[in-house]
Amino acid sequence: MKRIGGFRRKSRYKMQKKVSEMGKVPIGRFLQEFEEGQKVLLKAYPSYHKGLFCLRFYGRIADVTGKQGDCYKVSLRDGGKQKTFVVHPVHMLKV
């Protein structure tokens, strides 16, 4: 059977901004620097689509394991497995 829906399926309220956050992306979120081993909160910034993680992991805390271009490699445990993905710094906050 074919999979129904895309990457942003059932994400209406996760990907909604508050009125005070509307407008351009803050430059400070682009210029964030993270160290290897640092803990970060995965919080998607809806108006910037590049480097977005799977929304299943929204609100989770992960470890930075390295850098790849402008983005960072991030890993976390999901169930019994260690998962690694590449996330743009716009979608991460320091913990």
Q: Are 50 and 29 in contact (CB under 8 A)?
A: no
Residues 92, 72: contact at Cβ < 8 Å?
A: yes
Give the C-alpha separation, 67 to 47, whole Å: 23
Q: How many domains does the chain have?
A: 1
Q: Distance (Å, rounded) from C-alpha 81 to C-alpha 30?
A: 30
* 39-89 pLDDT per residue, tens: 999 999 998 999 999 999 999 999 999 999 999 999 999 999 999 999 999
Identify any residues that bridge with 20 across adjacent strands, giving them in sequence order.
none
Q: Is residue 15 part of a domain?
A: no
Q: What is the pLDDT of residue 25?
A: 82
Tell me whether residue 39 is in a domain. Answer: yes
Residue 1 placed within a domain: no
In a domain, 76, yes or no: yes
CATH number at residue 40: 2.30.30.70
Whether 55 maps to a domain, the answer reads yes
54 within domain boundaries: yes
- Secondary structure (3-state) at 27: helix
| Domain ranges, residue 50 | 26-94
